[in-house]
Structure 1
Amino acid sequence: MARRHTQPTQAPHTRRRGAAMKVGRAGSAPPFLVMDVIAAANARAASLPPGAPGIIRMEVGQPGTGAPRGAAEAAIRALQAGAPMGYTEAFGLPSLRARIARHYQDRYGTTVDPARIAVTVGASGAFPLAFLAAFDPGDRVAMAAPFYPPYANILTALGMTPVLLPCDATTRFQPTIAMLERMDPRPQGLIVASPCNPAGTMLAPEDLAAIARWCHANGVRLVSDEIYHGLTWGTVAESTAAGFSDSAVVVNSFSKYWSMTGWRVGWLLLPEDLVRPVECLAQNMFISAPHIAQVAAEAAMDCTDELEANKAAYARSRAALLEGLPRAGFTNIAAADGAFYLWCDVGHLTNDSAEFCARMLDQAGIAATTGLDFDRDRGSRFLRFSYCGTEGDMAVAPGRLAAWLRP
């Protein structure tokens, strides 16, 4: 009788072990904690019984308004026309780049060659392009602390070294020339944001000019985050680093003033020496920003009346919170010159802002972001409120917080 050949069998609960696989160093980049807060707030909202008060979303910098009507209509027309929405040039649609260049002339009086503008997949896609083109692994890049977390996290993932400059209300949470002069050795780069996230403070034009000129004179590449331009309150004027330095990199986005977060369109205004390096990187990493989103973004730039109405609503929400939060117990708030955030020192209420924010979500139904996302050393005594949600929610929030803190 012929012998049957059977496959060897394994015990029911055993598994072959392969060689241990490497996990890349970039995979150890710190998390962006606000994204975890979003997930927790979503889960909390889903668990609420019918009729219960909803969650007030103050954790994320996402406008509660959608894209302006003119932008949506332009996208609809483009889709109905049936034209293929394929790749654009790596730096984006020429018409959009020309429109962005005109924006610099109209808003700042700064003449910009459209060839220096790179349309990107949001500001989030702009930062790695800029960092890879401007810096090498091991380079040191300075920034104020508190700071927008992906600055440091992206740099770390790329093998660069973020250098934090501790700032507080005495410097309006912004870096100073004196801080830069004390750095030994000099960093290869400096990131500034005006208005900044999370504090909402701004650099006066003369201060931004001084920093830009210091960086240019000292061989320090300046990266200026200007994504909250258009959302300023008070007396400090907006100015662009491109007006003060030919070597600065400027980052902007359609996500904030133009209310187009999910459309994922931003841009870089590049110095001449980085144009081709960034273009090559963009070709390989992203190909192009979404075609249809670029069409909508170009149209959005002419929707001023609607966008200014959105801004007026933010201003009313800001005023309501600045009046109501101190009565609720949040008495130490950074000067909020721009953006749509309030950076609150809660050291008199807690020394663990992460736990405090978790209880606030669970017990008061308000989502906010722990300061640890923005300042790893001092953030346990801070939290950030965002006020770009619905105006009705922002009006209700102080009373709900007061009832929670003083039952």
Structure 2
Amino acid sequence: MLKTGRGANAPAFLVMDVIAAANAAAAALPAGSPGILRMEVGQPSTGAPRGAAEAAIRALQAGAPMGYTEALGLASLRSRISRHYAEKYGADIPARRIAVTVGASGAFPLAFLAAFDPGDRIAMAAPFYPPYANILTGLGMHPVLLPCDASTRFQPTLAMLERLDPLPDGLIIASPCNPAGTMLSPEELAAIAAWCHANGVRLISDEIYHGLSYGMAESTAAAFSDSAVVVNSFSKYFSMTGWRIGWLVLPEDLLRPVECLAQNLFISAPHVAQVAAEAAFDCTDELEANKAAYARNRDLLLAGLPAAGLDRLAAADGAFYLWADVSALTNDSVDFAARMLAEAGIAATPGVDFDRERGRRFLRLSYCGAEASMAEAPDRLRRWLGR
């Protein structure tokens, strides 16, 4: 029998299966039927901002070859990201410490391989973004799950970290987080960053939902720690999911390791996507209008879902997700989500994707879709549940 590798046993990213099921359900609907309300995926319904798309068109029409860039990205884009940190956070991040990546999904393996060894233990809150654990496991590293709940706002606390024995080699945090949409305050983030640095724990800060917060201040770990790794992306606030473009802010000791890994694993992020990404920074009006639409969707759901039967929701500080405790309705969110799709035409992601132990009591609902769909969702859910 031929051998298979460690990666052959990688768990599914369940939301992708839900997307496939929702696509199939939509295709099977008879003409004139109400459509499927898509609340399963964290993909903005808006496309890339106009200025970004136009920059890509101009570059292509100019006929210049869109070849490989340097592994760490176009110098002009890295400089623009550096300027973004100064303008948004007041943080002095030199362009040389920034690596442009093939989305945040390409950034994580670069960061993990550069910072950790097989056998290392990396802590993270549960619930968590599934590829954190799946990528780590595929690389021979060990996720250490920290069970979090509404009492900690689904975020790790300093007290929780101080109780760890032995200490982990790394810690992944996300603020705003997926799936709960909760955030760490600047003071909490600063304390965690200082604790990690003082204890030799490499901090990986997932900041891909920055720009999408609703009243709570955003802060970057790069402002509090020179040893932290920051992951960000053009997929969420900038609405550029399919362009596959993200970035890392790196500490000095990981610059060359990440560059060498990127050279071998990816060569470079797509050239044309880098051109578009640089232009996206100048599309503030359009991007803020998108954010305002998400905020309206959020308000519609927070007002309508409790009366429809989903009345235990995590604090929705940022991102575009609601983490719903459905234990009063079911102990099997996988079956519940499948029936909700088949019978109510609402696609949502079962919580087991994000918390393997407790996720059967939760659903994640994304509200970055069309406003009309979000407005319809509570009524559709209420009718289905007989409320």
**Match of 2:36, as an amino acid?**
I
Q: In the alignment, does 2:331 pair up with 1:351? A: yes
**Match of 2:359, as an amino acid?**
G
Q: Helix, strand or coil for the counterpart of 2:363?
A: strand
Question: 2:155 & 2:348 partners in 1: Cα distance?
Answer: 23
Aligned to 2:384: 404
Question: 1:162 & 1:320 partners in 2: Cα distance?
Answer: 36
Aligned to 1:16: none
CA root-mean-square deviation? 0.6
Question: 1:59 & 1:287 partners in 2: Cα distance?
Answer: 32
Question: 1:259 & 1:403 partners in 2: Cα distance?
Answer: 33
Aligned to 2:121: 140
Q: Helix, strand or coil for the counterpart of 1:268?
A: strand
Q: Helix, strand or coil for the counterpart of 1:342?
A: strand
Question: 1:277 & 1:251 partners in 2: Cα distance?
Answer: 16
- The residue correspondences of 1:193-272 to structure 2 (distance < 5 A) are 193-234=174-215, 236-272=216-252
Aligned to 2:171: 190
Following TM superposition, by how much is the alpha carbon of 1:123 offset from its aligned partner in structure 2, in angstroms? 0.1
Structure 1, unpaired ranges of 5+: 1-19
Structure with larger Rg: 1
Aligned to 2:15: 34
Q: Helix, strand or coil for the counterpart of 1:334?
A: coil
Q: Does structure 2 retain, via aligned residues, the 8 Å contact 1:232–1:338?
A: yes
**Match of 2:257, as an amino acid?**
P
**Match of 2:10, as an amino acid?**
A
Question: 2:372 & 2:65 partners in 1: Cα distance?
Answer: 41
Q: In the alignment, does 2:316 pair up with 1:315? A: no
Question: 1:283 & 1:154 partners in 2: Cα distance?
Answer: 19
Aligned to 1:363: 343
Aligned to 1:119: 100
Of 14, 17, 25, 2:6 maps to: 25
Q: Does structure 2 retain, via aligned residues, the 8 Å contact 1:27–1:157?
A: no
Q: In the alignment, does 2:262 pair up with 1:282? A: yes
- The residue correspondences of 1:82-93 to structure 2 (distance < 5 A) are 82-93=63-74
Q: In the alignment, does 2:130 pair up with 1:149? A: yes
Please list every run of at least 4 consecutive aligned residues from structure 1 whose deviation after the TM superposition is greater than 2 angstroms: none
**Match of 1:358, as an amino acid?**
A
Question: 1:349 & 1:53 partners in 2: Cα distance?
Answer: 25
Of 267, 275, 290, 1:295 maps to: 275
Q: In the alignment, does 2:71 pair up with 1:98? A: no
Q: Helix, strand or coil for the counterpart of 2:166?
A: coil
Q: Does structure 2 retain, via aligned residues, the 8 Å contact 1:328–1:405?
A: yes
Q: In the alignment, does 2:63 pair up with 1:73? A: no
Following TM superposition, by how much is the alpha carbon of 1:369 offset from its aligned partner in structure 2, in angstroms? 0.2
Structure 2, unpaired ranges of 5+: none
Question: 2:24 & 2:254 partners in 1: Cα distance?
Answer: 43
- The residue correspondences of 1:5-24 to structure 2 (distance < 5 A) are 20-24=1-5
**Match of 1:275, as an amino acid?**
L
Aligned to 1:336: 316
**Match of 1:406, as an amino acid?**
G
Question: 2:286 & 2:251 partners in 1: Cα distance?
Answer: 33
- The residue correspondences of 1:149-188 to structure 2 (distance < 5 A) are 149-188=130-169
Following TM superposition, by how much is the alpha carbon of 1:26 offset from its aligned partner in structure 2, in angstroms? 2.0
Following TM superposition, by how much is the alpha carbon of 1:79 offset from its aligned partner in structure 2, in angstroms? 0.6
Q: Helix, strand or coil for the counterpart of 1:383?
A: strand
Following TM superposition, by how much is the alpha carbon of 1:252 offset from its aligned partner in structure 2, in angstroms? 0.1
Question: 2:359 & 2:226 partners in 1: Cα distance?
Answer: 35
Q: Helix, strand or coil for the counterpart of 1:144?
A: strand
**Match of 1:223, as an amino acid?**
I
Q: Structure 2 length as normaliser, TM-score?
A: 0.99
- Please give the per-residue CA displacement for 1:69-119, whole angstroms capped at 9, x wherever unaligned: 000100110010011000000011100000000000000000111001000
